[in-house]
Amino acid sequence: MEELKQHIINYNEAVISISGLYKSFGDLDVLKGIDFELFKGENVAVLGKSGTGKSVLIKIIIGLLKPDKGEVIVLGEQVDKLERKELDALRLRIGFSFQSSALYDSMNVYQNLAFPLTMNRKNLSRKDVDEAVAEVLEAVSLNDKAKQLPSDLSGGQRKRIGIARTLILKPEIMLYDEPTSGLDPVTSAEIIELINEVQQKYNTSSIIITHDLTCAKNTGNRTAMLLDGRFMKIGTFDDVFDTNDEQVKAFFNYNFIQ
Q: Helix, strand, coil shares of the chain as percentages rounded to 5?
A: 40, 25, 30
Q: Model confidence at 121, in pLDDT bands (50, 70, 90)?
A: confident
User: Does residue 74 sit in the same domain as residue 21?
Assistant: yes
- 159-203: per-residue pLDDT in tens? 999 999 999 999 999 999 899 988 899 999 999 999 999 999 999
Residue 65 CA to residue 59 CA, distance in Å, equals 6
User: Does residue 189 sit in the same domain as residue 79?
Assistant: yes
User: Does residue 110 sit in the same domain as residue 68?
Assistant: no
Residue-level pLDDT at 1: 37
Is pTM beyond 0.85? Reply is yes
User: Does residue 163 sit in the same domain as residue 37?
Assistant: no
User: Does residue 89 sit in the same domain as residue 107?
Assistant: no
Residue 148 has pLDDT above 90, yes or no: yes
Domain end marker among 155, 170, 185: 170
16 close to 234: Cβ distance less than 8 angstroms? no
Q: In 10 A of CB 79, how many CB atoms?
A: 24
- 11-57: per-residue pLDDT in tens? 899 999 999 999 999 999 999 999 999 999 999 999 987 777 888 99
Q: Which domain holds residue 147?
A: 100-170
Residue 255 has pLDDT above 80, yes or no: no
Examine residue 110 and state whether it is found in any structural domain, yes or no: yes
Closest CA to 39 of 5, 4, 8: 8
How many distinct structural domains can be found in the chain? 2
Residue 2 has pLDDT above 60, yes or no: no
Residue 31 CA to residue 136 CA, distance in Å, equals 36
Residue 128 has pLDDT above 50, yes or no: yes
Examine residue 158 and state whether it is found in any structural domain, yes or no: yes
159 close to 183: Cβ distance less than 8 angstroms? yes
70 close to 36: Cβ distance less than 8 angstroms? no
Examine residue 194 and state whether it is found in any structural domain, yes or no: yes
18 close to 37: Cβ distance less than 8 angstroms? yes
Residue 243 has pLDDT above 90, yes or no: no
Residue 5 has pLDDT above 50, yes or no: no
Examine residue 7 and state whether it is found in any structural domain, yes or no: yes
Residue 240 CA to residue 163 CA, distance in Å, equals 28
Domain end marker among 150, 170, 190: 170
Examine residue 106 and state whether it is found in any structural domain, yes or no: yes
Examine residue 242 and state whether it is found in any structural domain, yes or no: no
